[in-house]
Amino acid sequence: MTSSPAPAIHVHELTKRFGDLVAVNGVTFAVAPGEVFAFLGPNGSGKSTTIRML
């Protein structure tokens, strides 16, 4: 049996608040080594905030 390599990035229930504003709410994902991954979404959806936290 072949095991999968550990993820290069693993995020579980990531949350970011600015006072009462929840900018990122419970984001969970994993990126495998060599995998191409993108954040897509409308303006103000927390994409840049998520990347900055990584």
Q: What is the pLDDT of residues 16-38, one digit of tens each?
A: 999 999 999 999 999 999 999 99
Q: How far apart are CA 15 and CA 22, in angstroms?
A: 8
3 belongs to a structural domain: no
Q: Is the pLDDT of residue 47 over 90?
A: yes
Q: How far apart are CA 37 and CA 46, in angstroms?
A: 16
What domain count does the chain have? 1
40 belongs to a structural domain: yes
The boundaries of the domain holding residue 20 are 9-53
Instruction: Please name which of 7, 18, 20, 1 lies closest in space to residue 52, comparing C-alpha atoms.
Output: 18
1 belongs to a structural domain: no
SS3 letters for the chain? CCCCCCCCEEEEEEEEEECCEEEEEEEEEEECCCCCCCCCCCCCCCHHHHHHHC
Q: Is the pLDDT of residue 1 over 70?
A: no
